[in-house]
């Protein structure tokens, strides 16, 4: 099977962003940093591409200039096993200028979109009992950061 690697475009912060992400996720590391040469198009000796891993998965980050920006049309989902993980990733990724959105979505300080979602969320909002599922969904739609206990209580009618 082919290997698919996310390739992220930054204006000038590729190395900074890669180091930020590596500091947040376990089993993560910088693999290689490549620099522009005098052939261009970037300034000689500045960082061109950073090859890194997040939780063992490959990523590339490019300093490509101001031509393109991230949008919410692409995001990365973090599958969290419990509220502690949700809280951890939410706090780290919204730090220093990140922006909270709705229903577990956020943008980090570089503008990259993330979905911080507990594994149990799908089960809660798609309960076979349609009333329970509706209450859980309504509770989730009012949230920025997902609160598992609040959604569970809403689902249970409490």
Q: What is the pLDDT of residues 20-39, one digit of tens each?
A: 999 999 999 999 999 998 88
Residue ranges of the chain with per-residue pLDDT less than 50: none
Write down the pTM of the prediction: 0.92
Using DSSP, state whether 107 is helix, strand or coil.
Answer: strand
Buried b (16+ CB within 10 A) or exposed e, 30-59: eeeeeebeeeeebeeeebbbbbbbbeeeeb
Predicted confidence at residue 39, as pLDDT, reads 82
Instruction: Please report the pLDDT score of residue 1 as a whole number.
Output: 64
Question: Tokens 């993330």 appear where?
Answer: 114
Mean pLDDT (the chain) is: 95
Helical (H) or strand (E) element with 8? strand 7-10
Domains, the chain, ordered by start: 1-68 (3.30.720.100), 70-158 (3.10.180.10)
Instruction: Give the pLDDT of residue 42.
Output: 76
């Amino acid at each position: 099977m082919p290997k698919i690697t996310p390739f992220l475009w930054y204006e000038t912060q590729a190395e900074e962003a890669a180091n930020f992400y590596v500091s947040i996720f376990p089993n993560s590391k910088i693999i290689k940093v490549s620099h522009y040469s005098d052939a261009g198009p970037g300034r000689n000796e500045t960082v061109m591409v950073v090859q890194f891993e997040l939780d063992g998965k490959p990523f590339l980050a490019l300093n490509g200039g101001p031509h393109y920006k991230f949008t919410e049309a692409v995001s990365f989902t973090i599958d969290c096993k419990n509220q502690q993980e949700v809280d951890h990733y939410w706090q780290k990724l919204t730090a220093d200028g990140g922006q909270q959105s709705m229903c577990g979505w956020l943008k980090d300080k570089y503008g990259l979109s993330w979905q911080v979602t507990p594994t149990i969320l799908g089960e809660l909002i798609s309960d076979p009992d349609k009333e329970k599922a509706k209450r859980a969904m309504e509770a989730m739609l009012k949230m920025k950061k997902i609160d598992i206990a609040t959604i569970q209580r809403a689902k249970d009618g409490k």
